[in-house]
A and B are shown apart, each in its own frame.
Chain A
Amino acid sequence: MSDTILSGHNLTKEFITRGDGAFSASKNRFRAVDDVSFDVQAGRTLAIVGESGCGKSTTARLASKLLDMTSGTLRFEGEDVTIAGAKELARFRSNVQVVFQDPFSSLNPRHTVERIISAPLDYQGIKVPRGRAALVRELLERVGLNPDHSQRYPGQFSGGQAQRIGIARALAVKPKLVVCDEAVSALDVSVQAIVINLLRDLQADLGLSYIFIAHDLAVVRQIADRVAVMSQGKLVEQGDRDEIFTNPQHEYTKTLLAAVPRINPEWERARAARMAEGTHPDQDVTPRARATTDDGGQA
């Protein structure tokens, strides 16, 4: 069994909200995350799934310390990082990075790719002896982009490419854990597959751990080792991936899994059989090249 790299214990986050409407003077406490505990194993992926408003993104923010928790404990490699000073926080940030959902709004449109990718190095005060440009080129290559494009701006890339820039930025400080907050949700299915494969390759090569936040359970099935299901701020079920998908225990998990639309299994089998027969040899299928802007993701 691998080591635990990040663990959250009884994480709780309360938000103070104004009462309903403008006339109410009352303040309400809203528990976005309620007593959530999890462990992320080194080199593994923990997926947190649930429907909108279930608290999964808030949990991601607590785990990456983008948000302070109301109560609970967060440990990174056994060390308590719940309350971190500037120095500890900087160290934590060089170990834990985040990739966000919307690739374009999370990349500054007026900065070059090189500046975007090397920005975390500045924040961490990390020196690169062989030079930033070289590192950026290496990272671009690593995420499957052309290293010669380091002087371009985000607007010149497609949605899938922009998301790879986001991943390259996360990798710049050589983190051990990457929190992917709906990182592939805005992408078209063919682009999404590439990014998922990239994330898996990076994990295999660099030994990265992931916290993978997603609402799409089919995607989670492809990438997770462990799955935590959240509903209304609470963690309702947690377990190994196949256990959750094939033998869910909690009613909510069952409902969620049942609601996922599926292609008629008979059709799937027929297609698989035809593919196996080689009726359709899987030739090099390259769709006609298109402008870089038109797969910019759908809302």
Chain B
Amino acid sequence: MVLYLLRRILSALGILLLISLFTYAIFFLLSPDPAVLICGKTCTPERIDQIRGQLGLDQPFWVQYWEFLRGLVAGRSYGDGPSAIDCAAPCLGFSFQTNESVTNMITSRFPVSATLAIGAAVLWLLAGIGGGLLSAVKQGTWWDRGAMMVALGGISLPNYFVALILQYVLVVQLQILPFPTAVEFGENPLLWFQSYLMPWLVLAFAYASMYARLVRTNVIDTLGENFMRTARAKGLAAPLILRRHALRPALTPVVTLFGMDFAGLLGGALITETVFGLNGVGKLAADSIAKNDQPVIMGVTLLAALFVVFGNVIVDILYTVLDPRVRVTSR
């Protein structure tokens, strides 16, 4: 088990390394000269050279990449002597726009993204699994058809569209909710909750739709399994058959999907955050892309990759707990 874990974690780190290399190479090759960007419009060639030297941009690619990696693990400093700027590990560099430490920028915004992801996840798991299950059991009824229609809408309607409709209905027309504002939980818990409710709903709607359809199909498939016939032939009560024999096989694949989706969301929900003006990692990514702020783009990309890759590892480990066939079979 320990060996297996070690192997999985090592390979995950390998994948992360590759991702960092690729993203670094892409930015290195494709983007305009960062020194020019930093320097601004009133710029002399000498000044550009100076910035280049300070950032290490005059070094060859491999040296720059190596420095970047080293900064991530051990921290680094830009420039020499008294003008040197220290950057503690994990160092992702400084924003070209604001000169802020990218690491700080991300850590300060991460709680917003995490709050969004966790709240949405609770909603979509409840609605997706509950709705899918009900649809499967009541297959072919009006409930099933209606729910699947709604789910189809949830999958096909773009997030921002749903967000706009929701805002229009809940805030403008019915005036049940105030317009979302950035407020800390400690300041005003009710307003905090109200502000997050719409983003949660919008995000959860899309995922819940997907999950409901998946759960429905899985449960229907499972109900057709031979072991379900055995369970009935044993004379078990219908609720027990559903709860014990249908649910676990049907929901196990959902774990994989959830692990990936949730991990992906921790890395920022770009559209939802932007639409609702939530200052999370997703919005940070959108802003930095708009301004071509390379260190920040690098930082959020790596963060997203980190979550997805390790989300994967956790799902794999969970699977061995959930599915006995994946467990050690030797006696």
Instruction: Please count how many residues in chain B sit with their CB below 8 Å of the partner chain's CB atoms.
Output: 10
B1-24: which residues lie under 8 A (CB-CB) from chain A? Answer: 1, 3-4, 7
Check if A23 sits within 8 Å of B329, measured CB to CB.
no
Of all chain B residues, which has the CB nearest A21?
B328
Taken residue by residue from 22 to 45, chain A's Cβ proximity to chain B (1 for < 8 Å, 0 otherwise) reads as 111100000000000000000000
**Dominant SS at the A interface?**
loop
A20 CB-CB contact with B under 8 Å? yes
7 further A-B contacts with Cβ under 8 Å, apart from A21-B326, A22-B320, are: A20-B329, A21-B330, A22-B326, A22-B327, A22-B328, A24-B328, A25-B3
Provide the residues of chain A in CB contact with B3, threshold 8 Å: 23, 25
Check if A21 sits within 8 Å of B7, measured CB to CB.
no
Q: Complex Cα distance A25/B4, Å? A: 7
Q: Complex Cα distance A258/B4, Å? A: 47
Check if A20 sits within 8 Å of B330, measured CB to CB.
yes
Of all chain B residues, which has the CB nearest A23?
B4
Q: 10 closest A-B pairs (Cβ-Cβ)?
A: A21-B328, A23-B4, A20-B330, A20-B329, A21-B329, A22-B326, A23-B1, A22-B320, A23-B328, A25-B3
Which bucket holds chain A's interface residue count?
Answer: under 10
In the complex, how many angstroms separate the beta carbon of B225 from the nearest chain A beta carbon?
15
Provide the residues of chain B in CB contact with A22, threshold 8 Å: 4, 320, 326-328
A positions within 8 Å CB-CB of B? 19-25
Of all chain B residues, which has the CB nearest A26?
B3
Provide the residues of chain A in CB contact with B320, threshold 8 Å: 22-23
Cβ contacts A to B, 25 pairs, < 8 Å: A19-B330, A20-B328, A20-B329, A20-B330, A21-B326, A21-B327, A21-B328, A21-B329, A21-B330, A22-B4, A22-B320, A22-B326, A22-B327, A22-B328, A23-B1, A23-B3, A23-B4, A23-B320, A23-B328, A24-B4, A24-B328, A24-B330, A25-B3, A25-B4, A25-B7
B positions within 8 Å CB-CB of A? 1, 3-4, 7, 320, 326-330
Q: Complex Cα distance A23/B329, Å? A: 10
In the complex, how many angstroms separate the beta carbon of B146 from the nearest chain A beta carbon?
35
Provide the residues of chain B in CB contact with A19, threshold 8 Å: 330
Provide the residues of chain A in CB contact with B329, threshold 8 Å: 20-21
In the complex, how many angstroms separate the beta carbon of A269 from the nearest chain B beta carbon?
41
In the complex, how many angstroms separate the beta carbon of B206 from the nearest chain A beta carbon?
32
Of all chain B residues, which has the CB nearest A22?
B326
Of all chain B residues, which has the CB nearest A25?
B3
In the complex, how many angstroms separate the beta carbon of A137 from the nearest chain B beta carbon?
41
Provide the residues of chain A in CB contact with B1, threshold 8 Å: 23
Q: Complex Cα distance A167/B1, Å? A: 50
Provide the residues of chain A in CB contact with B327, threshold 8 Å: 21-22
Provide the residues of chain A in CB contact with B328, threshold 8 Å: 20-24
Q: Complex Cα distance A25/B326, Å? A: 14
Q: Complex Cα distance A25/B329, Å? A: 13
Q: Complex Cα distance A89/B98, Å? A: 68
In the complex, how many angstroms separate the beta carbon of B20 from the nearest chain A beta carbon?
26
In the complex, how many angstroms separate the beta carbon of A21 from the nearest chain B beta carbon?
4
Provide the residues of chain B in CB contact with A20, threshold 8 Å: 328-330
Q: Complex Cα distance A21/B325, Å? A: 8
Provide the residues of chain B in CB contact with A21, threshold 8 Å: 326-330
In the complex, how many angstroms separate the beta carbon of B227 from the nearest chain A beta carbon?
16
Provide the residues of chain B in CB contact with A24, threshold 8 Å: 4, 328, 330
Q: Complex Cα distance A124/B82, Å? A: 78
Q: Complex Cα distance A20/B331, Å? A: 10
Of all chain B residues, which has the CB nearest A20?
B330
In the complex, how many angstroms separate the beta carbon of B110 from the nearest chain A beta carbon?
32
Q: Complex Cα distance A19/B1, Å? A: 13
In the complex, how many angstroms separate the beta carbon of B8 from the nearest chain A beta carbon?
10
In the complex, how many angstroms separate the beta carbon of B326 from the nearest chain A beta carbon?
5
Provide the residues of chain A in CB contact with B7, threshold 8 Å: 25
Of all chain A residues, which has the CB nearest B319?
A22
Provide the residues of chain A in CB contact with B330, threshold 8 Å: 19-21, 24
In the complex, how many angstroms separate the beta carbon of A286 from the nearest chain B beta carbon?
36
Of all chain A residues, which has the CB nearest B327?
A21
In the complex, how many angstroms separate the beta carbon of B329 from the nearest chain A beta carbon?
5
Q: Complex Cα distance A19/B3, Å? A: 13
Q: Complex Cα distance A25/B6, Å? A: 11
In the complex, how many angstroms separate the beta carbon of A23 from the nearest chain B beta carbon?
4
In the complex, how many angstroms separate the beta carbon of B4 from the nearest chain A beta carbon?
4
Provide the residues of chain B in CB contact with A23, threshold 8 Å: 1, 3-4, 320, 328
In the complex, how many angstroms separate the beta carbon of B321 from the nearest chain A beta carbon?
11
In the complex, how many angstroms separate the beta carbon of A24 from the nearest chain B beta carbon?
7
Of all chain A residues, which has the CB nearest B6?
A25
Q: Complex Cα distance A284/B326, Å? A: 56
Of all chain A residues, which has the CB nearest B320?
A22
In the complex, how many angstroms separate the beta carbon of A111 from the nearest chain B beta carbon?
28
